Structure 1
Amino acid sequence: MPTAIIADDERMMRDQLRSRLEQVWPELEILAEAKNGEEAIHMVATHQPDLIFLDIRMPVKTGLEAAKEIGNQAHVVFITAYDQYAIEAFDQGAVDYVLKPADVERLGRTVARLKARLSVASSPTDMSAMLSQLAKQMGIAAKPSYLQWIQASIGQELRLIPVEEILFFQSDEKYTRVQTASYEALIRKPVRDLCEELDPALFWQIHRSTLVNAKAIAGVVRDMRGRHLVQIKGLTEKLEVSRSFVHLFKQM
């Protein structure tokens, strides 16, 4: 029975990949799950799996850094979002990858290739040169790993929301509101924690309780009381800018 480890810093993505693998490769045994590159390295050494599904962008150590240390201990299957450089590099080499969120049909094709490799007992690919070049192209070493998805509740449903679709976050004492163009959801993570996990070039803090997607800002107006209010594209609602963050809009 083939064995594997899944490494991704987002729990819902790990759960989704595990579920999809159960559909397309029911005989595959998932030995463990890791939430960062350091854990992935340790788990490969401990469990000695045939395969590791390794997310490229993870905290502590990236998937590329982890793959270098894992070396030929296991066949590496990278998990990646739609990244031009990654897909081009993988298509040109002998390295397998899964695009996320995992699609059953695409994952089935990857599984077919992996089964073929395992059936001939081939050694894991030496990826040292490719990993170095890929890290340079993607700027992995220079860029921190930011959240790409938010897990949020909508009634009784738990939904996975791409961060680029989120217009703003707004916290109260208990929950944080997640607003998209078409619906509203709730999470328990406060804005102060989101500030550390989201790309500051994309999400601007305009109030101690509010983060706004810079691409969703239609403009800034001042009301009769002299307050600065951010207008959000597609919404009539306006968000107050506290005095500490007014400087963000001096040139607008």
Structure 2
Amino acid sequence: MSQQRRALIAEDEPILALTLQRMLNKLWPELEICQLAENGVQAVQLALEAQPDILFLDIKMPGKTGLEVAQELAEEWPEQQAFPLIVYVTAYDEYAVQAFEHSASDYVLKPVSEERLQKTIQRLQTRLQSKAADNAGDELERVLGQLRNLLPAQHSAGLATPALPATTPASNAEKLHVIRAAVGNNVRMIPIEDVLYFEATDKYINVVTREHSSLIRSSLRELLPQLDSSLFWQIHRSTVVNIRQVSLAQRDESGKVTLKLRDSDDKLSVSRVYAHLFRQM
């Protein structure tokens, strides 16, 4: 008897989600649709809880894009658990899809047709059969490598965030020289070179220097294009570090990388997506 496979659908339009579920039930009745997520944040939470074999991710969702969901799951996925196959579901045309398919087992265009979905199912079934003989971490390593390829060119220097194609290149954004942070009725002026690291917390970013920490109301997505990518490296979905302030990168037996900062007791964890930045040259 073949192994029961489970899938999660992340789609913010309920009619489209139910339509895809109905088509999958018809074309692949053995597949269990274990969860329906209404947005990217819920997709991450439900996927980590259910640990399905397949993810059908809408590219553009509230909270997180499909690419951001894939990145966060790659960072948080249990090491001994096989990483799910990813299918992106998108309304973008063939040209746009080429940028996304590299991190997926497949993609389907909206509106989804049964003929195209049948081909996707066949590819997934073939991949699942081959995965049975692989190590649990093989698919995760494949996805990590392909996510890195999807990051913007400046990721080679260490700074990146998965995003949908932008109409204005991030390189055109004016670079920050001073961070202005409100402290009570005052505004603290922080030279950018004094920043040890930025840490995102909900709707705010914690700006950490040797002397103090200050909150600014912004997101990393807004902040990243304004930073010099040769100095500020993203090391986690919520952390960007001033690389000149890093004295040591420590790798433990499991491969986890931790950064030690100069003149600071703070230690920063590097996620799997960015760990390759600290390999020996």
Q: TM-score, normalised by structure 2?
A: 0.46
Equivalence for 2:22: 19
Q: Which of the residues 9, 13, 16 maps onto 1:6?
A: 9
Pair 1:138-2:165 in alignment = yes
Change in 2 beyond 3 A, CA 1:68/1:101? same
Residues 93 and 109 in structure 2, CA contact (< 8 A), matched pair in contact too:
no
Q: Which of the residues 33, 40, 48 maps onto 1:45?
A: 48
Pair 1:97-2:107 in alignment = yes
Residues 102 and 150 in structure 2, CA contact (< 8 A), matched pair in contact too:
no
**Partners in 2 of 1:104 and 1:30 — Cα distance?**
17
**Partners in 1 of 2:64 and 2:126 — Cα distance?**
30
Residues 85 and 137 in structure 1, CA contact (< 8 A), matched pair in contact too:
no
Provide the secondary structure at the position in 2 that maps to 1:138.
coil
Deviations 1:48-72 (CA, angstroms, capped at 9, x unpaired): 1001100010011111111101126
Residues 135 and 141 in structure 1, CA contact (< 8 A), matched pair in contact too:
no
Q: Flag structure 1 segments of 5+ consecutive residues without an equivalent.
A: 143-252
Provide the secondary structure at the position in 2 that maps to 1:27.
coil
**Partners in 1 of 2:113 and 2:15 — Cα distance?**
14
Q: Flag structure 2 segments of 5+ consecutive residues without an equivalent.
A: 78-82, 153-160, 170-281
Counterpart mapping for 1:77-96 below 5 A: 77-90=87-100, 95-96=105-106
Residues 85 and 138 in structure 1, CA contact (< 8 A), matched pair in contact too:
no
Amino acid at match of 1:74: P
Pair 1:129-2:148 in alignment = yes
Deviations 1:64-122 (CA, angstroms, capped at 9, x unpaired): 11110112632111110133444223556663111111100000001110000001115
Q: Which of the residues 113, 116, 123 maps onto 1:106?
A: 116
Residues 86 and 105 in structure 2, CA contact (< 8 A), matched pair in contact too:
yes
Equivalence for 1:115: 125
Superposition CA RMSD, Å: 2.6
**Partners in 1 of 2:84 and 2:94 — Cα distance?**
25
**Partners in 1 of 2:103 and 2:42 — Cα distance?**
26
Equivalence for 1:68: 71
**Partners in 2 of 1:101 and 1:23 — Cα distance?**
17
Provide the secondary structure at the position in 1 that maps to 2:36.
strand
**Partners in 2 of 1:10 and 1:94 — Cα distance?**
21
Residues 34 and 52 in structure 2, CA contact (< 8 A), matched pair in contact too:
yes
Counterpart mapping for 1:171-250 below 5 A: none
Provide the secondary structure at the position in 2 that maps to 1:120.
helix
Equivalence for 1:204: none
CA offset at residue 135 of structure 1? 4.5
Pair 1:30-2:33 in alignment = yes
Change in 2 beyond 3 A, CA 1:44/1:118? same
Change in 2 beyond 3 A, CA 1:14/1:136? closer
Q: How many residues align?
A: 142
Q: TM-score, normalised by structure 1?
A: 0.51
